[in-house]
Amino acid sequence: MAADAAFDFVGIGLILSCALAIVMGVMATGYRTQYLSAMEERANTRGLIENLSEGVYRSSLDGRQISANRALVRLNGYDSEEEMLACVNDIGREWYVDPRRRDEIRALLERDGRVENIVSEIYRHKTRERIWISESSRLVRHKQTGRPLYYEGSVREISETVARLKLEETFRKLTSHLPGALFQFQTRENGRQVAVEYVSIGYYGIVEISQEEGLSGDFLLSKLVHPDDITGYMEGFRQAVEGGTLLDHEFRIVTPRGNEKWLRMTAQRETSPDGEGGTWYGYISDISLRKRQALEIEKLAYFDPLTGLPNRRMFVDRMTETIHQCERSETKGVLLFVDLDNFKSLNDTQGHDVGDAYLVDVARRLKACVRPNDIVARMGGDEFVIVLETTSTEEAVASALAIATGSRIMSSLREPFRQGELRHNSSASIGMLVFDGKASTPDELLKRADIAMYRAKASGRDAMALFQAEWLDGEAERFLLLAELRKALAEGTLSLRYQPQMDRHQRVVGAEGLLRWHHPVLGAIAPDRFIPLAEQSGMIHSICRLVLGQAVRQLADWSTDPSTAGLRLSVNVSVQSFANGPIVDHLIELIETYGIDPALLTLEITEHVTAGDKVEIGRRMGRLKALGVRFALDDFGTGYSSLSRLKGLPFDELKIDGSFVADIDKSEEDQALVRTILAIAGTLDLKVVAEHVETKAQQDFLLSAGCHRFQGYFYAPAITAAEFERFARENGAERSLHAAAPARLTA
């Protein structure tokens, strides 16, 4: 029994030992599995950190780098972690542009335990390039003792973001001082704005709303467009979209405060991805002041300042419309040319004030004799024209209307003109013309009506005459003149004369070369007689070549004499020849041949230059401008309405038309017009030359108004080259315009 008990005890011990061994084995296997799993998790974490796009680091408390992932290594310009750790010794001193930045961050970490998105400027450690970063980090402490162990955190580069923010701040500062406003808004296909994405601060001043109101989002520009301009506004968008061109449109708005303004919008469109609208980027400017000035000058340029009637330019426009209307409706029109009898006698004996009062009274009487829709215009002096529209296709009916209206006018004008004790028996000679839509030009119709008027005047005055076709036999003179002109060109009998141009100190600064033709039999023939013939016959190109050739040779001659070297010379160039002929190439060849300074040559062109291909004309002007040749806008003031169309053409100066200078010493309207022209010229940085200055009073007014250059009979007529050179030598020294007048030549 005892032996069996001992055996049982031993057996139980063996069993327990085996069980213990089994348990220990199982536990060891579990620990190994956990260890391997932990190692795998650690490797995964390390791999994750290594492949992050942000830099991850661990650093010691004294500023040494302990570890860094691949992103941080690349950010600092190194190829490996080992290389970077070997090179970085003191993060605060070597890494931050401002070494104190490290201490600031450490203070925050000790206080709060962590920092997030701290922005700092640092060096890319290896290359010393300065960059911007955003950094988040924490202070790691011992879990049991709380003792600080190390820092760890993440870094990402934000250099591009900082640069963009700086640019945006600079952009805001710049745009806050713009006179206009930049914008970006979206539209749908109908041109209606649907969302405003950006406007600069100047926008709020233009449309007169506060920035708070603007932030409400309900400030779409299209809501402010003037009702009369909304159709054109939408049409501008449509044309820009269909043509793929830049939007450049002027329109009115009515601000929330009730003020009307003129705006100019220039914008480029970027099509939306869905193709149903677009985003427009552009600029808005307030052009109200310029528009008011333009309208004022347009009124002065299109209406006679004395009588308030349309002037010649307005008449030509209206007459052109009437011709087209007759063509469309196949009806007749009537033109009456009214010339006052004995007006010169009244004006000379009673004075200009009485003469002007009489002209105003005549204008009133003429308007009372016609229908409201008929045109009454003053052509200048004592000449008036009237255009009557009819609904008749019969010439006889139109002729009867012309005679009836003419009789009514003659009866009205026979009533004596009274002013104070003055009683003037007035009358007029009237030329009448019936025309249709086949008429050529207003000027041609005027010529025929003028012929009829002279027939009436030749019959004894106070009479009417209806134009007859056979009266055109006088055109034979025209063909004779053309033949003689061809001969003159062939023989070289056309030549330049030189009218001095003076500066503010009465020094000769140059001359205008004026073409003159002295025929051995017909005598002196004025340019206004033969230049139109040359343009009609095609000889104008030859005349322009002749003028430019003489001008360039004259400049070459002047350059050899110290008393004339440096003087400028301006010559007129036909718009027709400049736009269509080989004049540019010819002039360039002349300049190269004679070796003149191109900056001393000025080409004068009238505003009719805009009637042709503006792009081609601008290109031709640009070729000569590149050499230094200057351009002047001639006869400025008579056609200001086209000034907006001259935008982009490189003019250097403008010449005030002589018709505005003639009465400038006594006409407030002409004075206002000239002041406005000079103000605009100053704004556009253009020099100004006043033509046809004939009196000291005219000169003094122009001087006080700020004019730069002067020419006219007050100084000298157009003279020969030798006479001009002598005049230039005698008037080359500086002197004041308020001092004694220069030595002058008379015609």
Establish if 494 belongs to a structural domain: yes
| DSSP H/E element including 613 | none
CA torsion, ordered 32, 37, 43, 48, to nearest 10 deg: -170
Least confident of 42-56, 142-156, 537-551: 42-56
Establish if 171 belongs to a structural domain: no
pLDDT score recorded for residue 434: 93
| 707 three-class SS | coil
225 and 256 inside one domain: yes
Give the separation between CA 677 and CA 636, rounded to whole angstroms: 8
Angle at 340 between CA 338 and CA 342, to 5 degrees: 160
585 and 674 inside one domain: yes
pLDDT at 719 over 90: yes
* CA distances for 332 relative to 439, 441, 471, 657, 691, angstroms: 10, 15, 20, 35, 41
pLDDT at 643 over 60: no
233 and 358 inside one domain: no
pLDDT score recorded for residue 375: 92
Least confident of 10-24, 89-103, 283-297: 10-24
pLDDT score recorded for residue 733: 42
The whole-chain average pLDDT of the chain stands at 83
Last residue of a domain, one of 245, 268, 286: 286
Q: How many domains does the chain have?
A: 4
pLDDT at 612 over 60: no
pLDDT score recorded for residue 52: 80
Last residue of a domain, one of 286, 321, 344: 286
Asked if 278 and 269 touch (Cβ cutoff 8 Å), the reply is: yes
pLDDT score recorded for residue 5: 52
pLDDT at 156 over 50: yes
620 and 684 inside one domain: yes
First to last CA, the chain: 170
Query: What CATH number is attached to the domain comprising 453?
Result: 3.30.70.270
pLDDT score recorded for residue 261: 92
Last residue of a domain, one of 286, 308, 335: 286
439 and 329 inside one domain: yes
Establish if 335 belongs to a structural domain: yes
Confidence of residue 241 (pLDDT cuts 50, 70, 90): confident
Least confident of 312-316, 344-348, 663-667: 344-348
Mean of pLDDT values over 300-318: 89
Between 317 and 736, the more confident residue is 317
- Two tokens at 255? 């601000």
149 and 192 inside one domain: no
**How many other CB atoms sit within 10 Å of the CB of residue 415?**
11
pLDDT at 608 over 70: no
Confidence of residue 638 (pLDDT cuts 50, 70, 90): low
- Two tokens at 674? 């000239």
pLDDT score recorded for residue 670: 83
**How many other CB atoms sit within 10 Å of the CB of residue 618?**
16
Between 548 and 457, the more confident residue is 548
413 and 525 inside one domain: no
Give the separation between CA 321 and CA 270, rounded to whole angstroms: 40
Query: What CATH number is attached to the domain comprising 512?
Result: 3.20.20.450
Half-sphere exposure of 382 (CA within 13 A, CB side): 20
546 and 676 inside one domain: yes
pLDDT score recorded for residue 640: 42
Establish if 21 belongs to a structural domain: no
Share of the chain above pLDDT 90, in %: 33
Asked if 612 and 646 touch (Cβ cutoff 8 Å), the reply is: no
**What angle do the packed helices 696-705 and 668-683 form, to 10 degrees?**
40
- Two tokens at 222? 């299209």
| DSSP H/E element including 98 | none
pLDDT score recorded for residue 361: 95
Mean of pLDDT values over 302-324: 90
Establish if 462 belongs to a structural domain: yes
Establish if 362 belongs to a structural domain: yes
Mean of pLDDT values over 597-621: 80
Q: What is the pLDDT of residues 86-139, one digit of tens each?
A: 888 888 888 898 888 888 888 998 899 899 988 888 999 888 999 998 999 999
135 and 215 inside one domain: no
Specify which residues 122 forms β-bridges with.
96, 131
602 and 712 inside one domain: yes
pLDDT score recorded for residue 474: 57
The alpha carbon dihedral of 49, 51, 55, 57 has a sign of positive
pLDDT score recorded for residue 549: 94
- Two tokens at 696? 């000291």
Q: What is the pLDDT of residues 521-565, one digit of tens each?
A: 888 888 877 887 787 677 888 899 999 999 999 999 999 998 899
Confidence of residue 177 (pLDDT cuts 50, 70, 90): low
494 and 453 inside one domain: no
Give the separation between CA 71 and CA 229, rounded to whole angstroms: 60
Query: What CATH number is attached to the domain comprising 250?
Result: 3.30.450.20
Mean of pLDDT values over 658-685: 84
Q: What is the pLDDT of residues 461-517, one digit of tens each?
A: 788 999 888 777 655 666 678 888 889 888 888 999 999 999 988 899 999 999 999
pLDDT score recorded for residue 384: 96
| 482 three-class SS | helix
Q: The domain containing residue 184 runs over which residues?
A: 176-286
**How many other CB atoms sit within 10 Å of the CB of residue 75?**
22
Q: What is the pLDDT of residues 178-208, one digit of tens each?
A: 678 888 887 765 555 567 778 888 888 888 8
400 and 496 inside one domain: no
Establish if 22 belongs to a structural domain: no
pLDDT at 263 over 60: yes
pLDDT at 632 over 50: yes
Share of the chain above pLDDT 70, in %: 84
Confidence of residue 735 (pLDDT cuts 50, 70, 90): very low
* CA distances for 624 relative to 484, 574, 631, 659, angstroms: 33, 16, 9, 30
pLDDT score recorded for residue 457: 79
Between 39 and 681, the more confident residue is 681
Establish if 26 belongs to a structural domain: no
Q: What is the pLDDT of residues 691-706, one digit of tens each?
A: 999 999 999 999 998 8
DSSP H helical ranges for 573-613: 575-580, 583-594
| DSSP H/E element including 722 | helix 721-730
